[in-house]
Structure 1
Amino acid sequence: MPELSAMERHRIAGVLAEVELLGVDISGGEPLLLRDLTTLASTIRDGGRSVVSVTTNGWHLARRAPELARCLDAIRISLDGPDPARHDAIRGAGSFARATDGIRAAVAEGIPVQIQTVLMHRTAETLQDLVDLAHGIGANGFTALQMLPIGASAALSTEMLTDEQARRVFAALRVPPGLRVRLRTRDAAGNFTVIRADGRVWRNTISALSIGGLHPLRGATDLILTSRDGTA
Structure 2
Amino acid sequence: MTVRAFSTSVLGGRSLVYDPATELTHLAPQVLPPGRCWLDDTQVTAWMAVFQRQVATAVPFNVCWSPLVRCNLTCPQCLDDKTIEELRGIERARIARILATSGTLGLDISGGEPLLLRDLTALGRTLRSAGAVVSCTTNGWHLARRAPELVGIFDAIRVSLDGPTAATHDHWRGAGSFARACEGIQAAARAGLPVQLHYVVMRSTADGMQQIVDLAARLGAGGVTFLQMLPIGDGRALRDTQMLSDDQARTRLEAVMPPPGVRVRLRTREIADAFTVVRADGKVWRNTDQASEISALRPLVRAEDLHLPVPVLQGSAS
Query: Could you state the TM-score of these two structures normalised by the residue count of structure 1?
Result: 0.95
Give the deviation of 1:24 after TM superposition. Answer: 0.7
Report the counterpart of residue 198 of structure 2 in structure 1: 116
The 5 A counterparts of 1:1-232 are 1-48=84-131, 50-158=132-240, 159-205=242-288, 207-226=290-309, 230-231=311-312
SS of aligned partner of 2:172: helix
Gaps of 5+ in 2: 1-83, 314-318
Query: Which string of whole-angstrom CA distances, capped at 9 and with x for unpartnered residues, describes residues 61-108 of structure 1?
Result: 001000101200100000011111111111111111110010010001
Give the deviation of 1:174 after TM superposition. Answer: 1.5
Q: 1:213–1:226: 8 Å Cα contact kept in structure 2?
A: no
Identical aligned residues as a percent: 59
Q: 2:137–2:158: 8 Å Cα contact kept in structure 1?
A: yes
The one-letter code sitting in structure 2 at the alignment partner of 1:33 is L
Give the deviation of 1:155 after TM superposition. Answer: 0.9
Give the deviation of 1:231 after TM superposition. Answer: 2.8
Q: 1:201–1:214: 8 Å Cα contact kept in structure 2?
A: yes
Name segments (4+ residues, structure 1) moved above 6 Å: none
Give the deviation of 1:161 after TM superposition. Answer: 0.5
The one-letter code sitting in structure 2 at the alignment partner of 1:185 is T
Gaps of 5+ in 1: none
SS of aligned partner of 1:212: strand
SS of aligned partner of 1:126: helix
SS of aligned partner of 2:290: coil
SS of aligned partner of 2:274: coil
- Relative distance call for 1:206 and 1:52 in structure 2 (3 A) is farther
Q: Report the Cα distance in structure 1 between the residues aligned to 2:105 and 2:288, rounded to whole angstroms.
A: 19
Q: Report the Cα distance in structure 2 between the residues aligned to 1:28 and 1:61, rounded to whole angstroms.
A: 14
Give the deviation of 1:133 after TM superposition. Answer: 0.3
The one-letter code sitting in structure 1 at the alignment partner of 2:123 is L
The one-letter code sitting in structure 2 at the alignment partner of 1:95 is S
Q: Report the Cα distance in structure 2 between the residues aligned to 1:71 and 1:206, rounded to whole angstroms.
A: 35
The one-letter code sitting in structure 2 at the alignment partner of 1:134 is A
Q: 1:4–1:199: 8 Å Cα contact kept in structure 2?
A: yes
SS of aligned partner of 2:227: strand
Q: Report the Cα distance in structure 2 between the residues aligned to 1:135 and 1:151, rounded to whole angstroms.
A: 31
Q: Report the Cα distance in structure 2 between the residues aligned to 1:231 and 1:182, rounded to whole angstroms.
A: 23
The one-letter code sitting in structure 2 at the alignment partner of 1:231 is V
Larger relative helix fraction: 1
- How many residues in Structure 1 have an aligned counterpart in Structure 2? 229
Query: Which string of whole-angstrom CA distances, capped at 9 and with x for unpartnered residues, describes residues 117-175 of structure 1?
Result: 10010000111111110011110111100011122111111211111110110000111
Q: Report the Cα distance in structure 1 between the residues aligned to 2:181 and 2:231, rounded to whole angstroms.
A: 25
SS of aligned partner of 1:116: strand
Q: Which has the higher contact order (CA 8 A, sep 6+)?
A: 2
Q: Report the Cα distance in structure 1 between the residues aligned to 2:297 and 2:233, rounded to whole angstroms.
A: 14
Q: Report the Cα distance in structure 1 between the residues aligned to 2:289 and 2:154, rounded to whole angstroms.
A: 29
SS of aligned partner of 2:205: helix
